[in-house]
Amino acid sequence: MIKRIAIKQIILLAAFLALSFSVKAQNPEQIKSDSKMIWAEGSSQKEALDGITSKLAYAVGFTCQKSKFLPLMQTYAQDIRKVTHQITYSGKFLRYISTSDLPKLFQARRQKIGELKSSADKYKQRFTQTGSPSDAEDAATLYRWAIAYLSSLPGGNSKEIKSLQQQINSLQKSAGKSSAINASSSPIKSQMAHINRQASQIESILGIRSTPLLAANAKSNSSSNAPSNQPFSSSKVEVQKPVRKAPALAISLPESPAHNDSLVTTSWASDEVTKALQGKLEDFVPSEDAHIFIIPQIGFSPEWNAGAMLGTKFKSSNMGVYASYRSNFTSVSSDLSIDSSEDPSHLTGSHKVFIQSITAGLLFQLTEAPHIKLNVGAGYGNRNIYWQTTSNQWAEVADRTSKGLVLEAGILYSPPKHFWHKPGLTLSAGLSTINFKTIGLTLGIGLSF
C-alpha cells in the first residue's frame, strides 16, 4: 500500500513539473524575445495563422521567385496548423514555432512524394509487362504529382525532378508505340482528387507547363473520344490519355516509402531566418540547381589566344549572365604607325600580333534540353599587327589592325552527372568577330558548380 502511494506521488510530482515547464515555456513575452522563435499574433486565430504563414514563407528557403513564396507556403496550410503552437492571452492569439522544428513542416509532403514515386514505379513496371496504355497514364500521373510536390519543397530538388521527368519521357515514348489510345480521365485522379487539386495548384503557382499524354494515332478517334486537356507533366511531354475500360483499381501506397531524397538540410539558426526575412538579393543568387561556370578557353582568330569565361544562371530562371577575357599576352611597345603598302626594304620581315578581348552577355538555357545553354555577348577587343623596321623598331600596321566592337555567340554543354555530383564538366564552343574584320573560333572545357 505504501509502495502504491509513493508511486502515485512520484507521478503527480512529474506531472506538476511538466505542467510548470509548459506554462513557463508558453510565456508570450519569452516567446517574442526568443531569437529562435518565429511568431505572429492577431486578434483572431486566422489573423495569427496568416501572419506566421507569411513569415514562414520567407524563412524556409524556397528557390523560386519571391512573389511566389507566400502562395507556395499557403499550400502547407494544414501542416502549419499541425506543427505550429498557439496560445491565447489578453484577447490575442499568438502562434509560434521554433526554428529547430521547421523541418517538420515538410515531413508529410516528403513522405507523400515517396509514396507517389513508389506507386508510379509499380504502374510503370506493370505497363512494361502488359503494354496497357492506362497503366502508362497512371504512372505518368503519379510521377507528375511527385514532380509538383518536389518543386514546392525548399532547397531545390532539380536532380530528382529531372530523374522523374526522364521516367515520364520514357513512358511517352513507349505509350506512343502502342495502339490508338482513347481519352478518358484516369481513375487515380478521381481516387486521389485532393492530391490532384493540390499538385495542380502548385503547378499554377510555379508556372509549370504541361501537356496531356498523346499517342501519334489518337487524332483519328471520334470527337467523343477527343484528348483531354488535363495536364500531367512538368515539361512538354506529348503523350495522350488512355481509356480505362477496367474498373477503377484502388492504390496501395506503402506506409514507409524508401527513397534517397535527403531531408531538409538548411540551417535553421536564427541568423539564417533573419537573412531570409530580409530577402537580400535572393532572386539573383545561384540556386542549388543553377550552374556557376568556370571555363578556361583557347581561341584562334586566326592566332591563338587564351582566357576564361565566368558565368552563372539565375535561380528560378532559364537565363544567366557571363563575362569572358582572352588574350595572347604578347608584349609590344610601339609609337609608330605604318601602312601595309610600306616599302619592304624598310622592314626586316619579322612581325608580331597582339590580341585581346573582354566581353559580357547573357546565357540562355534551352527548356527542352536543360544540359545545353547558349551565350550571346558583346564587348571591346583589338587585334594589332606589328612589323619590325630595319631600325629595330616595331610599327603598328594600321590598315590590318582591328579595334572596336566584339560580338560573340556560342554554346555550352554540361553532360549529365551520372558518376559525380559536384563539380560538373562543361564544354564550350563559339565564334566571335572584332569590328566585323576578323572571325575567331573559341573552344573551352571547364567546371560547373
Q: Quick one: fold of 284-448? A: Porin (2.40.160)
From CA 375, how far away is CA 353, in angstroms rounded?
27
C-alpha cell belonging to residue 235? 515539361
Q: What is the DSSP letter of 385?
A: E
Q: When comparing pLDDT for 277 and 173, which is higher?
A: 173
Rounded (10°) angle between helices 158-176 and 107-130 = 20
- DSSP, collapsed to helix, strand or coil, labels residue 397 as strand
Q: What is the pLDDT of residues 145-162, one digit of tens each?
A: 999 999 999 887 888 999
Mean pLDDT across the chain: 77
Q: What is the pLDDT of residues 114-143, one digit of tens each?
A: 999 999 999 999 988 888 888 888 898 999
From CA 174, how far away is CA 235, in angstroms rounded?
17
**Paired strand residues for 446:** 426
Residue 278 parent element (H or E): helix 270-278
64-78, 114-128, 261-275, 376-390: segment of lowest average pLDDT: 261-275
Average pLDDT over residues 26-53: 90
Q: What is the pLDDT of residues 172-195, one digit of tens each?
A: 888 765 443 333 456 787 788 889
What burial letters (b/e) apply to 268-301, b meaning 16+ CB within 10 Å?
beeeebeebeeeeebeeeebebbbebebebebeb
Residue 160: name the closest of 65, 263, 238, 66 by CA.
263
218-222, 344-348, 388-392: segment of lowest average pLDDT: 218-222
Query: Length of the chain, please?
Result: 449
Phi, psi of 132 (to 5 degrees): -75, 120
Domain boundaries, given as residue ranges, for the chain: 25-105, 108-225, 284-448
From CA 384, how far away is CA 28, in angstroms rounded?
73
Q: What is the DSSP letter of 192?
A: T
Q: What is the DSSP letter of 240?
A: -
From CA 440, how far away is CA 154, in angstroms rounded?
43
Three-point CA angle 11, 100, 155, nearest 5°:
150
Alpha carbon of 434 to those of 161, 380, 422: distances in Å?
42, 8, 36
Q: In what order do the strands lie in the sheet with 92-98?
A: 37-42, 92-98, 85-89
In this prediction, residue 7 carries a pLDDT of: 62
Q: Record the pTM.
A: 0.46
For residue 51, pLDDT beyond 90: yes
C-alpha cell belonging to residue 355? 590580341
Residue where the block lists cell 475500360? 245
Phi, psi of 313 (to 5 degrees): -100, 130
